[in-house]
Structure 1
Amino acid sequence: MKKLLPTSTAGSLPKPSWLAEPETLWSEWKLPAEELPDGKQDALCLSLHEQQLAGVDIVSDGEQTRQHFVTTFIEHLSGVDFTKRETVRIRNRYDASVPTVVGPVSRPKPVFVNDAKFLRQQTKQPIKWALPGPMTMIDTLYDAHYKSRKDLAWEFAKILNQEARELEAAGVDIIQFDEPAFNVFFDDVNDWGIACLERAIEGLTCETAVHICYGYGIKANTDWKKTLGNEWRQYEAVLPKLQQSNIDIISLECHNSRVPVELLGLIRGKKVMVGAIDVATDSIETPEEVAATLRQALKYVDADKLYPCTNCGMAPLARHVATGKLKALAAGADIVRKELQALP
């Protein structure tokens, strides 16, 4: 029988200090090139072990083999020049130096498939793999070739589909596309963003997910959140069309956010990864706090479709904080699971 309320993480987990600088996004690798492949695999095993000890049901690689959830994928593509850099505004929030699209983009070889095969060998648990979504990819680049956000996103969607099909063949159970840009560019999302996402999942038989959050717990994101007022209703603009899409699971930020929980009603019928862990604070939730968030979500999400999760990735957090939060997630889910099982 399938487990009720299976827990998972939204994406990244902290890297060990011998691999990369702790609590830092885009941290340089500390190991020399010849030692790095083994070091990444060791870190993946460590991250998996920590998830298992914490009681996480659907495990991941913790994104141990990548510096950043978007740029590491793009680094492996043709048509993007990392030496030609431009400063762009990321999600209308902060400036970053990014590579330039200089020609047609393509994927000469698989990017994460060998890592996924390695993870599959380490566990019999369901595994989830995260890929950047097409719209978030184009928001992390300067485009000097296509000169069209939609056209570039469509090309990326085709490339992501190639990668996703091979990840599925490698034994991945859930393929998740990270689309924080869906919380910003509402017209584009509804005009062509969801269509691009559906192109990325074309032909897949494994479960698919889209993760839409308010970002890592970095200053640029927390400052932005302070400007959003008492109610964060961004999801309202995109959830109705996502409810009609072919995506199986929608992953949302819920705990300690000002998202009105009733917005979950807009996607009734979909499976929902409910973010019950705040990644923007070092404070570790109690299991009861997690349980309270899940109980609120259950008013709008059927119990067999609720997947307790983290709000976003936890790469910028200290390892002991992230581990504590994962344990709280598992314990909180267990409280509510027992309550549901006790119902007549």
Structure 2
Amino acid sequence: MKKLLPTSTVGSLPKPLWLAEPETLWSPWKLEGDALIEGKQDALRVALQEQLHAGVDIISDGEQTRQHFVTTFIEHLSGVDFENRKTVKIRDRYDASVPVVVDAVARQKPVFVEDARFLRQQTRQPIKWALPGPMTMVDTLYDDHYNSREQLAWEFAKILNQEARELEAAGVDIIQFDEPAFNVFFDEVNDWGIAALERAVEGLKCETAVHICYGYGIKANTDWKKTLGSEWRQYEEIFPKLQASKIDIISLECHNSRVPVDLLELIRGKKVMVGAIDVATHSIETPEEVADTLRNALQFVDADKLYPCTNCGMAPLPRSVATAKLEALNAGAEIVRQELLAAD
């Protein structure tokens, strides 16, 4: 029998001190050559053990083998110049120095497939692998070739589909596409963003997920959140089309966000990864706080479709904080699990 309320993280976990600078996005590696390859694999083993120890049910790689959830994938594609970078405003929020699309983009070889195969060998638990979504990829670079966000997104969707099919063949149970851009560019999401995402999952038999959030707990994001008012209704703009899409699971930021929980009614029937852990604070949730978030969500999500999760990745957090938050997530999920079983 499938476990009720299986827990997971969105993806990233803090990297060990010996591998990369802690609490930093785009942190440079401290190792190189063969030592870096071995170090990444060791870090992946550590991330796996920390999740198992905390009781996490669906395991991720903790994104230990990549510097950044979007650009590490783009680095492996041809047609993109990483030397002559340009500054763009990412998600209309903060400036970043990004690579430039100078020619047709293509995937010459698998990007994460070997890493996924390595993780699959380490555990019998279900495993989830995160890929950047097409729209968020478009938003994380400067396009000097296609001059069309939509056309570039379609090219990325085809490339992501190649990668996703090989990840599935390597034994990945859930493939998740990270699309924080879905909370910003609503017209584009409805015009072509969801369609591009569906192109990325074409032909997959494993479960598919889309993660939509308000971003890592970095200053640019927390400052932006303060401008969103007392109710964050952004999801409302895209939920109807997502509900009708081929994506199996929708991953959302729920705890300490001002998202009205009744918006979940708009995606009833989908599986929902309910973010019950705030990644923008160092304070540790109590199991009861986690349980409250899940109970609220259960008004609008059937119990067999609710997956307790984190709001976003935890790469910028101290490792001790991230570990304690994972333990709280599982303790809170267990409280509600027992309540549901007792009510049966």
- When normalised by structure 2's length, the TM-score is 1.00
Q: How many residue pairs get matched? A: 344
What residue in structure 2 maps to residue 240 of structure 1? Answer: 240
Per-residue CA shift, 1:239-297, capped at 9, x if unaligned? Answer: 11000000000000000000000000000000000000000000000000000000000
Corresponding residue number in structure 2 for 1:6:
6
**Counterpart position of 2:50:** 50
1:158 aligns with 2:158: yes
**Rounded Cα–Cα distance in structure 1 between residues aligned with 2:138 and 2:218:** 21
Q: Could you tell me which residue of structure 2 aligns to residue 259 of structure 1?
A: 259
**In 2, Cα distance between the equivalents of 1:34 and 1:167?**
24
Match of 2:126 in 1: 126
2:282 maps to 1:250:
no
The separation in 1 between residues aligned to 2:240 and 2:324, in whole angstroms, is 35
Deviation, structure 1 residue 11: 1.1
Query: Which residue is 2:39 aligned to?
Result: 39
Distance, in Å, in 2 between the alignment partners of 1:140 and 1:188 is 15
After superposition, where does 1:301-316 map in structure 2 within 5 Å? 301-316=301-316
SS of 1:326 mapped into structure 2: helix
- Which 5+ residue runs of structure 1 have no aligned equivalent? none
CA RMSD of aligned residues (A): 0.4
3-state SS of the aligned residue for 1:188? helix
TM alignment of 1:17-166, pairs within 5 A: 17-166=17-166
For the residues of structure 2 that align with 1:33 and 1:317, how far apart are their CA atoms?
27
1:88 deviates by: 0.2
Superposition deviation, residue 34 in structure 1: 2.7
Distance 1:56 1:16 in 2: 19
What secondary structure sits across from 1:163 in the alignment? Answer: helix
Give 1:84 deviation, angstroms.
1.4
Post-superposition shift, 1:217? Answer: 0.1
Normalising by structure 1, we get a TM-score of 1.00
Shift >6 Å, 4+ stretches:
none
Secondary structure of the structure 2 residue equivalent to 1:102 = strand
Counterpart Cα distance in 2 of 1:39 and 1:86: 31
The code of the aligned residue for 2:253 comes to: E
**Structure 1 partner of 2:289:** 289
Tell me which residue corresponds to 2:173.
173
Which residue number corresponds to residue 231 of structure 1? Answer: 231
Deviations 1:100-150 (A, max 9, x none): 000000000000000000000000000000000000000000000000000
Q: Match for residue 270 of structure 1?
A: 270
Q: 2:141, 2:26 → 1: CA distance?
A: 15
Q: What CA distance in whole angstroms lies between the structure 2 residues aligned with 1:101 and 1:34?
A: 30
Measured after TM superposition, the shift of residue 16 of structure 1 is 0.1
Distance 1:152 1:39 in 2: 34
Identity %: 82
Say yes or no: does 1:326 pair with 2:326. Answer: yes
Classify the secondary structure of the residue corresponding to 2:8.
Answer: coil
